[in-house]
Structures are given as C-alpha cells and as structure tokens.
Chains A and B, each alone.
Chain A
Amino acid sequence: MAQEQLRRFWQEFSENKIAVVALFVVLALVFLAIAAPFITPQNPYDLSSLVLSDSRRPPGFVGSKGFTHWLGTDAQGRDLFSAILYGLKISLEIGLSAGAIAFCLGATLGAGSAFLGGRTEAIAMRIVDLQLSFPAILLALVLSAVMGQGKVQLIIALAAAQYAYFARTAHGAAIAERSKEYVEAARSTPLSSWRVLFRHILPNCLPPLIVVATVQVANAIALEATLSFLGLGLPPTEPSLGALIANGFQYMLSGRYWISIFPGIALIVLIIAVNIVGDQIRDQLNPGLRR
C-alpha cells in the first residue's frame, strides 16, 4: 500500500510541470554539490592552490594554472565556479542538518506538550509563541554572535531559531489526534506514554510537518546565507554562498559584478526550486487546498 500510495503521489506530482522541473533542478544541484571535488578544477578551500595574481579576473579568463575560469575569480583568486559548488555543498549541509534537527526537536516538543497537556503544554507553547513573535534572523544572529563561527555553531543557531515553526505545527496536529479513539485505545491497553506519543500520535502528525520541513529547509539556507553575508556565519576561508556574495559586494560598483552575481544566482535558483517543490508537496498533502 505504501508503494501504491507513493506511485499515486508521483503521478499527481508529475502533473505540475514546473514542480517537476524544480525537483530536477534541486536534484541536479544536490548532485553537483556532492560531486564538487571531482568536477571542479580547483579546491577553493586549499589556500595553497590559490594564485593571488589571478584574482578578480572576469569570466572566461585563462588562469596561470592553465584552466579557464568560466565564471571568473574572486578577490582571493578563487575560481568562482569551484567556490560556488563548494558553497552549495555547505549551504545544503547546513540547511538540511538545521532543518532535520529543528524538525525532531520541534515535533517532539509540540506533540509531546499536546500529549502531556496542562501546565507543561501552556508553558512550552507560550515560549514557542514568544519566539515566533520576533524574526528568526534576530535569534540566529544573537546565538551565532555568542557561540562564534563554525559549521556546528551555525547549525545549532539555525535549528534553535526554526524549531518553533515545527513545534507550532506539530502541536496543532497533535491536539487533533490526541482525542481520537485510537489514542484512547492505545492508552487503555495500556502502552507507555512514549510509545503512544512516538508510535501513535507523531506518525499521524507527519503530513503537515513534511510541508513545514520543505519550506524551512529553504529558509535555513537563506538564513545561513544572510548570517554569512553579515559576517557571522562561516570563516572566510570556507566561504558559503552567502559569504561569497558578501566578499564580492564591495566590488559591485567597480564593475566586477561576477563575484557577487553568480553565487547570488545559484542561491536564488536553489531556494526557489526547493520552495516550488515544497509548495507542490503541500498542495498534495493538504486536501483542503485542492481545486
């Protein structure tokens, strides 16, 4: 039945041509990011491979190492094509890990507090509401400023800023589920609270959470780029897409547009593609939105 459901899901998904293209773009970008070390002419994180005399060269320039910089080079002499693929990899890693952590944390907190009810629920959900009432970027900014630079710190900061969306959604779904008879049946067996929560309530809260997850992965990528752009993300030796944009920003007006523009295009394409796929999944999982 699971296979058949999946088949029907794909059939409906493939009716939306734009979503199929977007899915293809996402998969292609993921593939490029994973395969980056094998297809790029240069490792942009290996500082010894950078040639400073090749810096800020326009697209199509043939560098001193003998290969063509199709997208030009940045201020440190990094080949932009290589740097974008490596940056894509970092962005995806951070976006997916932060999204996954926020998902687990938020789903457990939201569904758990709905399950426990009473004061626990009230306090946990008021904290979540409080956090939702100011922008996620603000919290991520403060946290990464406190914890310092680094991939792990960034993931923690992003997860902490985003779990609230999952918690809200899971809480709402779990409230609807917790009063259903199958939950009463499970409790009257009796089964342990953990089992009732993780085997009965949470699996039935998944559809809306999957929707939030696709949107929040795109948001996490954008947040990471924002933090990096503001100089709080990753160290400049390991530039993500946001850091690349920031690096090239000061040269924009001097005509060296490529340093900022190309990473920017890559970022926009990634975020838009993930969002389109997410929207399509949301439309399909939410019968209320069907035409």
Chain B
Amino acid sequence: MMDDAASRDFVSLEHVSRRFSTGTPWTDRLLTRFGRTPPPRTVYAVSDVSLTIKRGEALGLVGESGCGKSTLGRILCGILPPSEGQATIAGEPVVVDGHKVSRRVQMVFQNPFASLNPRLTIGDAIAEGPLAHGLVTPAQARDYVQGWIERVGLPADVVQRYPHQFSGGQRQRVAIARALAMQPDVLVCDEPVASLDVSIQAQILNLFLQLREELNLTVLFISHDLGVVRHICDRVAVMYLGRIVEEADTAAIYNAPAHPYTRALLDSIPRLEPDGSEAQFKAIAGELPSPLRPPPGCAFHERCPLAFDICNTQVPELTVIDPSHDRRVACHALRDK
C-alpha cells in the first residue's frame, strides 16, 4: 500500500489553465497601431484550477454548460494539453511535450454514437489499445476482449459486430469496456449518461459503481445532473466560469452548500413537494457571463446575493473554511465571517 500522502494526491491538477486563442490577425495589429484596443480573442476555459483526488475516490465535477468542466476533464485525460500547470497521476505527468504519455487515465465520453469508430468492429475497437501498448499478445487478445465484454454486461457474440448495430446503452457499455481494457487507474467520465434514456441511465450508473468497486478505480465524474453526482461521488467540486468555487464531501455539499452559487445551483433543481403542492424551484438570476469578457473580481458577483464591494475587484481564492468536511470555498463573503 502507498503511504497516506501519496494516496491523497493520487490524481493531482496543479494550477492548470487552458487558453483558447485564435492568434492575432492583421486587422487587430492595425487597430493597435491606431491606438484602439482590439476585441479580446483569448478565452480562458479553465483558469488556475488546483485539484487532487485520493486513490479510489470518485470526484464529481458539476457546473453549468460552458463552465469548463469538460475542458478540465480533457486536460486530466491528456486530450488537451494545459496552457499552464500540469496534471499528474501518482506523481507522473500525463502529458509530456504536448503528447499524452500515460495510459493510466482513460475517458468515457458523453455521446456513445460519436465516440466509437463506425468502421471498427467492437472486438477490434476494444483490442486496439491493449495490443498497441503490449498489454496483451495477439494470441491472447480474443479471450481478453471477451472477458471485458462479459464484464460490462454485453452478450458474448457482439465481438464481430459494428457500433451502428447497437443501442445507446449498449454502445456506452462498449465505450466503457474499451476504456477499461487499457487497465487504467483513473477514469474520466464526461457526462456518460446524459445522452441516454432515464431507464438506461440507472443500468449504466450501476455498472460504473460495480466496476469502480471491483477495479479500485479513481473517478472524475463530470455531470450537470446533480442527482446523478450525489449517487455516484464521494466528493463534489463546483465549477463556475473556469474556476472551482466550492469543493467538499458530497453530503456536506448537498446538505449545507456554502458558496452562494452552489446554493443557487441546488435550489434550481426542480423538486416535487411531498404534500403534493406545486413543484417549486428557483432559477438562478441572470446568465453565465461570456468567458471572452469575464467580469472583474469574482466571476459570480453579478448574480450573487451576498456580493459587496471587494467582490467587484478581487478574485477570491479557494480556501479551506471547514476542515471537518474538507471544504474549500472561493468567496469573499464567507471568508470574512
């Protein structure tokens, strides 16, 4: 077994940022020459995020569309190299010189209709990675693939078939088998059930829980479905406009949300009242600001009921406010209490 410190920082994202920019076109250079400020062309999808996941833990990443949670997942998985900072697993970097070098982290994508190559049979798709990395010999590949197909609950005769012959739920099982066949320690799940029917969602989620237990997987579970996250995850991190605003144990987040955004997010879940009265939910006022022109100071201050003067100018830092629940919050109003 690993010592406690290494196990605690098993997955680590250190000051990770990801910029997307289109470069400087000549029209902008011309504008600058004439003393005008060209429109901003750099978007920070993720800015200065630090996050650790313990070995075997499932961390839920929630937030509105466009808040950067998928980008963060792709950085951890090595699909997008970070502009700044780095992702490590057990101390080893995932990406070196812009190329992914680790096979210890694999990803399950949102849309199983797009994440499988339509021209590869299920068997070839699952076997390709392990063969390329020498995890199995070509002679063993058949049995190896068969083993994973059974493990994800697919019938044994699917090996020779193509993705278009399967339903969404079955395809997602294939995608899970393909990711797990690489024998990863860490699994990044990017909204893996968002595109499935509700009845199928439960099956896939149960499969996740079961496999996670069996394989001692560390999971980053990205979702906008707060109910699903509560069901699956040990800890939850809430993202807003590229930054983490609150992170705590699942129970602590759901029972006593601290950051005003987390509170608003939880309040916005439609709820049926037990006494049969009207369903009530509060929508969050306003919209997610454009990441092209993020508001100065705390990005949430325009929509925040607690905002005061300092919120307009200073970006709040993520600080521990509640050690018993391992809770970190980025909010001026809460820190000053």
Interface size of A as a range = 10 to 19
Given contacts A1-B165, A190-B100, contact A185 B107 (CB under 8 A): yes
Task: Give the contact stretch, choosing among B8-16, B85-93, B108-116, B267-275.
Answer: B108-116
Which residues does chain B contribute within 8 Å of A184, judged by CB atoms?
74, 79, 107, 109, 115
Residue of B nearest to A203 (CB): B119
* A188 contacts B106, C-beta separation under 8 Å: yes
Q: Are A190 and B165 in contact (CB under 8 A)?
A: no
Assembly CA distance A92 to B171 (angstroms): 45
Name the CB-closest residue of B to A193: B99
User: Does A188 contact B77, Cβ atoms closer than 8 Å?
Assistant: yes
A11 near B: Cβ within 8 Å? no
Q: Which residues of A contact B107 (CB under 8 A)?
A: 184-185, 188
Interface residue count for B (Cβ, 8 Å)?
30
- Please give me the residue from chain A that is nearest to B128 by CB atom: A191
Indicate the member of A180, A182, A186, A191 with the most B CB atoms within 10 Å: A182
How many Å lie between the Cα of A192 and that of B131 in the bound state?
Answer: 12
A186 and B117 within 8 A (CB): yes
Q: Which of A1, A184, A185, A200 has the most CB of B within 10 A?
A: A185
Contact between B109 and A185, CB atoms less than 8 A apart: yes
Q: Are B106 and A189 in contact (CB under 8 A)?
A: yes
Chain A contacts of B175 at CB under 8 A? 185
Complex Cα gap A195–B129 (Å): 10
Instruction: Return A9 CB to nearest CB of chain B, in Å.
Output: 16
A204 within 8 A of B: yes
Q: How many A-B residue pairs have CB under 8 A?
A: 62
Decide: A180 and B132 in contact? CB cutoff 8 A. Answer: no
Main secondary structure of the interface of A (DSSP, over half): helix
Give complex CA distance A180, B111 in Å.
10
Contact with A along B49-81 (1 / 0, CB 8 A): 000000000000000000000000010011100
List residues of chain B with CB within 8 A of the CB of A185. Answer: 107, 109, 115-116, 175, 178
B78 near A181: Cβ-Cβ < 8 Å? no
Residues on the B chain within 8 Å of A195, using CB: 128, 132
Given contacts A1-B165, A182-B115, A195-B132, contact A190 B78 (CB under 8 A): yes
User: CB distance B103 to A189 under 8 Å?
Assistant: yes
User: B162 to chain A: which residues have CB within 8 Å?
Assistant: 1
Within 8 A of A (CB), among B162-195: 162, 165, 175, 178, 182
Whether B115 lies near A181 (C-beta < 8 A) is yes
Most interface-central of B117, B128, B182 (chain A CB within 10 A):
B117
| CB neighbours of A204 from chain B (8 A) | 117-119
A126 within 8 A of B: no
Q: Considering the complex, give the chain A residue whose CB is closest to the CB of B118.
A: A204
Q: Could you say which residues of chain A place their CB within 8 Å of the CB of B79?
A: 184, 187-188
Chain A CB within 8 A of B161 CB: yes
* B101 close to chain A: CB less than 8 A: yes
Nearest Cβ in chain A — how far from B82, in angstroms?
14
- Tell me if B114 and A180 are in contact (CB < 8 A): yes
Q: What residues of chain A lie closer than 8 Å to B161, measured between beta carbons?
A: 1
CB within 8 Å of B: which A200-231 residues: 200, 203-204
The residue of chain A having its C-beta at the shortest distance from the C-beta of B124 within the complex is A199
Chain B residues, Cβ within 8 Å of A188: 77-79, 100, 106-107
Shortest CB-to-CB span from B121 to chain A, Å, is: 9
Whether A191 and B132, one on each chain, are in contact in the complex, defined by CB atoms closer than 8 angstroms, is yes
Tell me the nearest residue of chain B to A206, going by C-beta.
B119
Q: Are A192 and B114 in contact (CB under 8 A)?
A: no
CA distance in complex: A1, B107 (Å): 28
- What B residues does A190 contact at CB under 8 A? 78, 99-101, 103
- List B contacts of A186 (CB < 8 A): 117, 128
CA gap between A243 and B114 in the complex, in Å: 52
> Once bound together, how far apart are the Cα atoms of A207 and B175, in whole Å?
25
A245–B99 Cα distance when bound, in Å, is 58
- Once the chains are docked, how many angstroms separate the CA of A192 from the CA of B101? 10
A69 to B139, CA, bound (A): 63
Give the docked Cα–Cα distance between A192 and B182 (Å): 15
Look across to chain B and name the residue whose beta carbon is closest to the beta carbon of A2: B162
**For residue B178, which residues in chain A have a CB less than 8 angstroms away from its CB?**
185
> Once the chains bind, are A192 and B132 in contact (CB under 8 Å)?
yes
A189-B182 in contact (CB<8A)? yes
A187 to B118 CA separation, bound complex (whole angstroms): 16
CA distance A204 to B117 in the complex (A): 8
Give CA–CA (A44, B107) in the complex, Å.
65
Interface residues of A, Cβ cutoff 8 Å to B: 1, 180-182, 184-192, 195, 199-200, 203-204
Q: A184-B115, A185-B107, A191-B128 are in contact. List 9 more A-B contacts (CB 8 A).
A: A1-B161, A180-B114, A181-B111, A182-B114, A188-B78, A188-B79, A189-B133, A190-B103, A191-B129
25 A–B contacts from the bound complex (CB under 8 Å): A1-B162, A1-B165, A180-B114, A181-B110, A181-B114, A181-B115, A182-B114, A182-B118, A184-B115, A185-B109, A185-B115, A185-B178, A186-B117, A188-B77, A188-B79, A188-B100, A189-B106, A189-B128, A190-B100, A191-B128, A191-B129, A199-B128, A200-B117, A203-B119, A204-B118
Which 5 pairs between the two chains have the least Cβ-Cβ distance?
Answer: A181-B115, A190-B100, A189-B129, A181-B114, A182-B117
